[in-house]
Structure formats: C-alpha cells, structure tokens
Structure 1
Amino acid sequence: MYLNYFGLRDNPFSIAPNPDYLYMSPRHKEALAHLTFGLRESGGFVMLTGEVGTGKTTVSRKLLQQLPDNTQVAMILNPTLSALELLATVCDELGIQYDADKASLKYFTDCILGHLADNHTAGINTVLMVDEAQHLMPEVLEQLRLLTNLETNREKLLKVVLIGQPELQQLLKRNELRQLAQRITARYHLLPLTSPEVSAYIAHRLSVAGGDISIFSKGTLRAVHQITGGIPRVINLLCDRALTLSFTKQHAVVKKPIFLAAAEQILGDDIVSQRLQGQRKAWYAMTFIIAIAVGFAVGRAYV
C-alpha cells in the first residue's frame, strides 16, 4: 500500500524470512561464531537460546549456509515428539530406509548409527538441528545424547544443534540431563538489539528495499527501541504498521506520535503505556544519580 508513496521497491518489514533482508548485528555474529566453533569441537551438542523474535532462526539459517558442502543436515521443526517418533523423524530427514513394522527404539537407533558410520566412511559430516528445543521431553533429550555416543578417537559422528527459548536452559539443569549438559561445547544466549543496533537494523532493511533511514524521524527511532525492547520481529510489525498509518495521513516522515499509535494498535494501550512509564522512571533515576554526583563534586571543591 505505502511502497510507491515512500519510493520503496519492496516491503522492508515483512516478517517472512527473506535472506535478502538478513541483518547480522554484532550479537548475531557473535552467536554464529560460538555455534560454528562448537560444531568444530569434539563434543556432540551446541546450544542457542533467546527470547521469542530475537533472531535465533536468522542465526541458524546463516549457520546452515556456512556448513561445508560435505554436510548432511536433519531438521526437526516440531520437537513435541516421543522418543520413538523423534528417531523415526531423524530417519526420514536423513533419508534412511526402515521397516515401520519393526519400529522400536533399538531398531531406529541401529539404523541411525549405521547411517552415521557410513557417512563418516564417505567423508560426510552429519548435523541434527532441533528448533523450539525447549519443548523436548527429558527422555527425548536423553535419546539424543545416546545417538551422539558413536564417535571416533577425534570426534562425535553426530553433532546436535539445540535452538530454543530461555526455558531450554532451565530444562538442561535437571539432574537426569547432567550428562547431556556436560557435552555442550558452545552455548550462546541471544539478547535483543541495543538502541544503535535498532537504528542500524531499520536502516539496513530500508536500504535493501530502495529507501533510507530518513523515512523515520530521530525521535521515532528512539521510540522504536523503547517500545519494542529491541526485538526484531516486533520492530518489523510496528514499523510496517507505522508506515501504513503515515501513508494514510500523507506524512512524508514517520513521526513519533504515528509510531506510538501503530504500537497501540499492535501491542495494546496498556503495554505501550507501561513501557513509556518504565523509560521515564529510568530517566528520572539517572537524572537523580547525576545530580547527586554533581553535588558531591561541587561540595568537595569547596572543602
């Protein structure tokens, strides 16, 4: 609706995972480096956690792009499975033929371990990536650990990437999963974007779409970080709505009141009000601390 009005070739804030709009902030690059390092180590597991919408999928897709060509990847996108169902899904993902009538934990495990050994002989690395891993049951996680038992003198024949929300960290603290937790060679918790990173994120997406950051006022950019908390998915939703509202009102620039109106439509009045009040309290506290520090310094000058 607003593309021609703002001189854009494409929707810069679509929530579809378009790789053309991929923005790797310093935090995302650091997360990618941790995972890449972990997969090169001898251990069986690496883990990426973060709140909803912080960009875990972005990092995982970039990780897949950087894996060597001699890598076979199995993706588990729906982890709410029993141990038996998980092993069957791994077989499906790796293209392993099996007889459904013989389905059992031992049968599927033997099939997978045989495939891992064949891949290793052929010089092929095998990686299993599990998204939304916080939903895995402890017994399923334990089954994954058992799959990583097959190893050479130098490395595991199966590397597992666990991607999930912060609850995954708590899950792995359970006593019965301590052996698995000890096998995690790299872990990274992805935090939201900082205020400068939010501006850089918006500028990048607008640039790819043929626009520039001047479409948003400086006050609006500060408000984006304040209201969204630096969560990329929320930034996309609110900026898209703000551009739509600015178009309907025929404003050439997205101003702060328009953005706040868009935020209220998406998040609700109470959420927006709460976050604005939180920012004011932080500002008052900082001002108070600065005033005390200045007063103390002036007082010492007269001593």
Structure 2
Amino acid sequence: MVAELYTSFFGFSERPFTLLPDPDFLFWSDSHKRAYSVLEYGLATRAPLTVVTGEIGAGKTTLVQHLLSTLDDDVTIGLISNAQGGRGDLLRWVLYALSIEAMAQDDYITLFRRFQEFVLDEYAKGRHVVLVIDEAQNLSVEALEELRMLTNINSNKDELLQLILVGQPELRDMIASPYLVQFSQRVTATYHLQPLDLKQTKAYIQHRLIHVGGTGNEMSSYAIKSIYEESGGVPRLINKYCDLAFVYAAASEKRIVGIDQVRELVDDGIFVKIQPDSTLVLENPIFKVAE
C-alpha cells in the first residue's frame, strides 16, 4: 500500500498520522492537560457528573482511553461509545457496558433494580462504578435526565457511581438548557477542549514524527502553517492532511514535505468539507451527486 511505502521511504516504524485514537501518540497541549486534569479531578473527588466537550477530532476519546488505562483496580468501568434510543434503551446500554445480564422481557423496574444491586454489591466489595459515555451529544434530553436519576443511588456520604460524559459542543448546549437544570446542578466539573494553535500544531506534528523514529524535521514550517490553516488546528484533520502529504512526498521522492505537496493535495480536492451553510460538499470531482 502507498501509505505503508511512505513509512519505509522515511524510515518510520509505523504511520505517524493515523485517524484512530491512540493513547501512545497522546500530545499534551495546554488544553489537553486542562481537560485531563478535569477528568482526574472528577474521579478523585467522586464527582457524580463530569463533562468534557470538544469539536470532532479534538482528541477527547484519546484522553478518555488514556485515563481508563491509568485507573486503579478498585474501579469498575463501563464504557458506552454511542448510545441511542429512548427511555429504557439507555439503561440496557448501561447494563451491557457493565456485563450485567438483561433479558429482552425485563421491564424498566427490573432492569433498574438489577443495576442498583450491582452498584451496591461493587461498593460492598470496596469498589466503585464509573460509567463513561462517549459521543454523549447523541443522547436525548430524556436520556440525560435518566442518567441523572441513576446518580440517585449515591444517597449516602459515599459516592457509589460516577458518570463521565464526553461529547461534541452540542452536549454543552444541551446541558445549559432550562430543561436540564437538575442535571446541570449535578455536574461537578466541565471543560471544553480547544483546537491547537499554530505553535502547538507544529509541536504536535513533530511529536508524532519523533514517536515513530523520525527527526521531527521531515515537514517544512511552511507546510505545517498551510496544514494548520486548512485543518483549523483540529488534531484529526491535521492527521488527515499530514498522512496524505507524506504520501505525496514519497511518491515524488521528496525527503522533506514542503508546501507544494500540501497545496497539491488541497488542489486535488480529496477531502470532504462542510460549507458554512452546513451543506455537504464532495470536493473530489470523481464523486457525483445523483440528480
């Protein structure tokens, strides 16, 4: 594959700019440090609800994965990646995430009792339960209120259950809604993850290059500036542009990725972009929208 050929051409141990979240490549910008501190604070204080938001591709899931890898053995983790549905469906997602049996014929009361018994049993064993809901902006107002009701299990001085919600900026707007006043009052800590600035974008790119055995200087400053302008400092978009820029450079046998390669891939129009009016535009001319 061409992408694999460029790793060989540049002497990298692996592709430095994949799109999958990978804690091994985690770059600690100031904003990522603050977001992670909020997550740690929520866990340390047994906060009922902790919320971290950010744009698509900002690195939220990578932070969560890193956090989960550092937790002590006395924490029982349930991870829900993309829950959807109405009342009762969310509870089934929760039970599934915690490997709690749920029969198709079980009603809501039965499911809730089973969940409550599990949380209390874990507490009796000296453990507490943490539920992490990724892509939480997909939840309805009713589902968020249902999550709040789950925290009612924390009726004594000890917190038995913690919820960490991670999502796109719409989640922050939902929580600020007058329909979720009680929910927002349960939120102990919240943080919105910001995109990288130009200086951080350069450090981010160099960090990933060095991580795979490069020098960090395989891309020119002009190319980095162009990628920053095209990506808006969003890590996932930076990865997309960098990955293809290295493909273009290897194909031209260029040892340093220059602005010409970035301009070329931009001019080729191979990325799908969203126009300001939210209309989906397929930039590559080989794609046609059926009339």
TM-score (ref. length: structure 2): 0.87
2:8 matched to which residue of 1? 4
The match for 2:197 among 194, 197, 206 is: 194
Q: Does structure 2 conserve the Cα–Cα contact (< 8 Å) formed by 1:134 and 1:168? A: yes
1:160 matched to which residue of 2? 163
Alpha-carbon RMSD across the aligned residues, in angstroms, is 1.8
User: In the TM superposition, what is the alpha-carbon distance from 1:83 to its structure 2 partner?
Assistant: 2.1
CA–CA distance in structure 2, aligned partners of residues 85 and 238 of structure 1: 38
User: In the TM superposition, what is the alpha-carbon distance from 1:207 to its structure 2 partner?
Assistant: 0.8
The match for 1:144 among 142, 147, 151 is: 147
The letter of the residue matching 1:59 is: L
The letter of the residue matching 2:252 is: K
2:100 matched to which residue of 1? 96
The letter of the residue matching 2:222 is: G
CA–CA distance in structure 2, aligned partners of residues 268 and 136 of structure 1: 26
* Greater fraction of residues in helix: 1
1:205 matched to which residue of 2? 208
Q: How does 1:114-133 map to 2 (within 5 A)?
A: 114-133=117-136
1:31 matched to which residue of 2? 35
User: In the TM superposition, what is the alpha-carbon distance from 1:110 to its structure 2 partner?
Assistant: 1.1
The letter of the residue matching 1:219 is: Y
CA–CA distance in structure 2, aligned partners of residues 178 and 109 of structure 1: 23
Q: Does structure 1 conserve the Cα–Cα contact (< 8 Å) formed by 2:82 and 2:134? A: yes
CA–CA distance in structure 2, aligned partners of residues 51 and 269 of structure 1: 15
2:51 matched to which residue of 1? 47
Would the alpha carbon gap of residues 268 and 78 (structure 1) be closer, same or farther in structure 2, given more than 3 Å must change? closer
2:93 aligned with 1:84, yes or no?
Answer: no
The match for 2:241 among 228, 238, 243 is: 238
User: In the TM superposition, what is the alpha-carbon distance from 1:72 to its structure 2 partner?
Assistant: 0.8
The letter of the residue matching 1:200 is: A
User: In the TM superposition, what whole-angstrom CA distance separates every residue of 1:158-193 from its partner, at most 9, and x where no partner exists?
Assistant: 101111100011111222211011100010000001
Aligned length: 270
Q: Does structure 2 conserve the Cα–Cα contact (< 8 Å) formed by 1:216 and 1:254? A: yes
2:278 matched to which residue of 1? none
CA–CA distance in structure 1, aligned partners of residues 35 and 273 of structure 2: 34
User: In the TM superposition, what is the alpha-carbon distance from 1:212 to its structure 2 partner?
Assistant: 1.8
2:111 matched to which residue of 1? 108
Would the alpha carbon gap of residues 270 and 118 (structure 1) be closer, same or farther in structure 2, given more than 3 Å must change? closer
Q: Does structure 2 conserve the Cα–Cα contact (< 8 Å) formed by 1:120 and 1:157? A: yes
Structure 2, unpaired ranges of 5+:
276-291
Deviates more, 1:140-149 or 1:88-97: 88-97
